[in-house]
């Protein structure tokens, strides 16, 4: 085999390898983007949940401050139920 033919074969094989590698990298980047979007949606749901939880805890604190321990617990339970029933 001549040196020119060997060089051409080397460059053809290298070109094919670079193309395949680039395709794999593109697919990996697409998957990373999809995963990051999913994580963003999950974090949004977590933020909404923590806001609801903090509002509930604030109402429980207000009920305890107004009514004391036992009556505060009962007021918090019934006020939470009432507000959730009103939303539906």
What's the length of the chain? 88
Position 85 pLDDT exceeds 50: no
Q: What is the pLDDT of residue 59?
A: 79
pLDDT at 80: 57
Model-level pTM? 0.57
How high is the mean pLDDT of the chain?
A: 84
| 12 vs 84, higher pLDDT | 12
Integer Cα distance of 87 and 84 in angstroms: 5
Dihedral sign for Cα atoms in the order 18, 23, 29, 31: negative
Alpha-carbon gap, residue 67 to 56, rounded angstroms: 16
**DSSP E strands: which ranges in 1-88?**
none
Q: For residue 32, what are its two tokens?
A: 């990373």
Regarding predicted confidence, which is higher, 44 or 66? 44
Q: Which token pair is 10? A: 């080397």
């Amino acid at each position: 085999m001549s040196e020119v033919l060997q060089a051409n074969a080397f460059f053809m094989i290298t070109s094919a390898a670079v193309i395949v590698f680039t395709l794999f990298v593109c697919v990996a980047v697409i998957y990373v983007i999809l995963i990051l979007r999913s994580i963003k949606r999950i974090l949004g749901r977590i933020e909404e949940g923590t806001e609801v939880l903090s509002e509930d805890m604030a109402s429980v604190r207000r009920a305890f401050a107004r009514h004391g321990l036992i009556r505060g617990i009962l007021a918090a339970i019934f006020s939470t139920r009432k507000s959730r029933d009103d939303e539906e």
